[in-house]
Structure 1
Amino acid sequence: LFALLAQSFFSIDEFSGLINREFTLKTYGDLLQAANLDIILRTVTMAALVTLASAVIAFPIAYYAARYARGRWKALFYLGVMLPLWSSYLVKIYAWKLILAKEGILTWLLAKLNLLWLLDAWLALPVVGGNSLSVSFTGTFI
């Protein structure tokens, strides 16, 4: 980590693309330009929201698995946690696209529960909505 921190103070020659190994704050000045602040804010906000959502979902499941689950249920909880870690990133993205698509599993389930109006109302919101969950900000968050 120290080597990475030290390299962050080096600059890049704009003509040759070579790294100048002299300490400077130029890279941090470039990073904090107005054009990049919006990107940094959105990235930090999304990271914080995903971390919070993961904690809200994971801690009760972990508590139940540690305290009350026995036998097959405990094995099922462990498998449910470990199985997504074994699959590749592209397979996960493709699976989420299929689940969140307009003709996907989630839309089918909401239609069976007569809650499709709720999904349509959510997708009609200007900030979080879109054509379907797979291309909306909500789908990106999930």
Structure 2
Amino acid sequence: CELAHILKNAGLDGYYGYKLKDWMCTAFYESAYNSAALHLEWRNGKILSMDCGIFQINSFWWCLDDDTPITKRNCGTSCSAFLDDDLDDDIKCVKSIVNLHPGMVAWLAWTHRCNGQSIDHFVTGCNS
């Protein structure tokens, strides 16, 4: 429940209409709650983009890195900042993502595994 408390205290429960269970489900299916998770997307021997951190924030759209050739970089934060246990920058960025995208459809894990599913178990026992 530690992550649930962090996300709730940061204002994600109810943010943009999404409940804490949506964020917990997304983090579980994106990274298995691993703040150091890194997924590299390769094409023709080069890194096309990477997904970083507990919410797998993508380098093409949201964060700054040296390997992604063309990028939107809407969060304006280094991708490496999303690979540590300090989730403040991650949370700030995901708030931007749901505002700019709009919504949680930016995360395929949420779209395919959380949206419209029974996901209450991700926050069961974490109310205090």
- Shorter-chain TM range is under 0.3
Larger Rg: 1
Higher relative contact order (CA 8 A, sep 6+): 2
Give me the TM-score of the superposition, normalised by structure 2: 0.25
Q: What is the TM-score when the length of structure 1 is the normalising length?
A: 0.23
